[in-house]
Amino acid sequence: MLLAIDIGNTNIVLGVYREEELVACWRLATDVHKMVDGYAVLLNSLFSHEGLSKSEIKGSAISCVVPPLLPIFQELCREHLKVEPLVVGPGIKTGVRILIDNPRELGADRIVNAIAARRLYGTPAIVIDFGTATTFDVVSREGDYLGGAIAPGISISAEALYKEAAQLPRIELAVPKRVIGKNTVASMQSGVLFGYVALVEGMVERIKEELGEEAKVIATGGLAGVIARETSAIQIVNPNLTLEGLRLIHEMNR
C-alpha cells in the first residue's frame, strides 16, 4: 500500500491507497512544532482506528509547502514505516512541461493537482484549490502547465476582517440566504462567500478568454464543495485531487 502525504500551511492530509483505491484518509491541523515522535504516535492511532498495519505500507509520496516539516515527515517514513519517501520536487518524473519563468518556485501541491486533473479529467483544465490561499492552475490542451493565479484564501480573508476591523465579529463560513445581508454577520458572510463565488466566476472567464477555448474546471480543497454549489463555473469537485496526484506521480517514478 501507498501512504500519500500532502503537507499544507493549514492542514496535513494523509491518504492510504491499495492500488488505485483510497482506503483511508485523514486531515490534521498543521503543527510545525510537533516532532517526529509526536506525528508517529498520531499515525499509529490513525492506523489502529482503521484496522491498518504500518507493515503494509510499501511506499510513500510527499507534497510539502511547509519546508520545516519536510525532514520531519521524511524521517517519519524512514524510521517508522521503513520506506524511502518520494518527495515532489525538481528531478522527479511528472510527464508535464512546466512553462513558467522559474519552475523551481512552483508549489509542489500545484503541480500535483495539475497532473491529477490532466490524467483524471483531460485537458485543457483549470484547477482551483481552496486552501490557505486560493490557487488557480492552468493546463493546456497539450498537457503543459501554463501558470496560474494566487488569491488570499477564504478563511484567512474572513479572519483578517475580524482582526483588522474593530466592530466586525468572527463568522462561520456558511452561505447566507440572500446577498443583501440584514445584519452584520449575514453581510460579512455574503461578502466573503458570494464574493469568492464572483472571484471564481470572473477568474475562470478571464482564463478561458486568454486560453482561447473552453476548459474543464476542477475544484479541490476544504471549501470547494461550498463554493461549487453556488456557481456553474465549476464542473467537478474532487476533495482528494492532491492525494490522487501523489499516487499517480508515485506510479510514474516507481
73 is a domain residue: yes
Plot region of 61 (φ>0 → left; ψ -120 to 50 → alpha; else → beta): beta
DSSP state of 79: I
Structural domain boundaries, residue 70: 2-87
Q: Which of 13, 73, 21, 5 has the alpha carbon at shortest distance from 220?
A: 13
- Same domain as 74, residue 113: no
Residue 58 covered by a domain: yes
- Statement to judge: residues 82 and 109 lie in one domain: no
**Is 197 part of any domain?**
yes
Report the number of distinct structural domains present in the chain: 2
> The whole model's pTM is what?
0.93
Which residue do the cell numbers 519552475 mark? Answer: 103
Residues 61 and 183 in one domain: no
Together in a domain, 120 and 226: yes
Predicted local confidence at residue 245, as pLDDT: 97
In a shared domain, residues 140 and 226: yes
Shared domain check, 117 and 215: yes
Predicted pLDDT of residue 91: 81
From 57, 87, 117, give the residue that closes a domain: 87
Answer with the one of 30, 57, 87 that is the final residue of a domain.
87
Look at residue 28 and tell me if it is in a domain: yes
Alpha-carbon gap, residue 246 to 90, rounded angstroms: 15
Catalytic residue set:
109
**Residue 124: exposed, middle, or buried by beta-carbon count in 10 A (0-12, 13-18, 19+)?**
buried
| Per-residue pLDDT reduced to its tens digit, 26-82 | 999 999 999 999 999 999 999 999 999 999 999 999 999 999 999 999 999 999 999
Same domain, 56 and 136: no
Q: Are residues 121 and 146 in the same domain?
A: yes
Give Cβ neighbours of residue 21 (< 8 Å, ≥ 6 apart).
none
Residues 130 and 201 in one domain: yes
Whether the CA torsion 170, 220, 252, 96 is positive or negative: it is negative
The confidence score (pLDDT) of residue 15 equals 97
CATH (domain of 238): 3.30.420.40
Same domain? 139 vs 17? no
The region that residue 122 occupies, defined by phi over 0 for left and psi between -120 and 50 for alpha, beta otherwise, is left
Both 206 and 115 in a single domain?
yes
- Which residue(s) pair with 135 in the sheet? 129, 150
Is position 251 within any domain? no
3-state secondary structure of 202: helix
User: Is residue 175 in some structural domain?
Assistant: yes
82 assigned to some structural domain: yes
Domain identity same for 47 and 144 = no
- Residue 34: what are its φ and ψ, rounded to 5°? -75, 135
Positions in the chain short of pLDDT 50: none
Nearest to 124 by CA among 112, 111, 134, 137: 137
Neighbours of 46 (CB within 10 A): 16
- 96 within domain boundaries: no
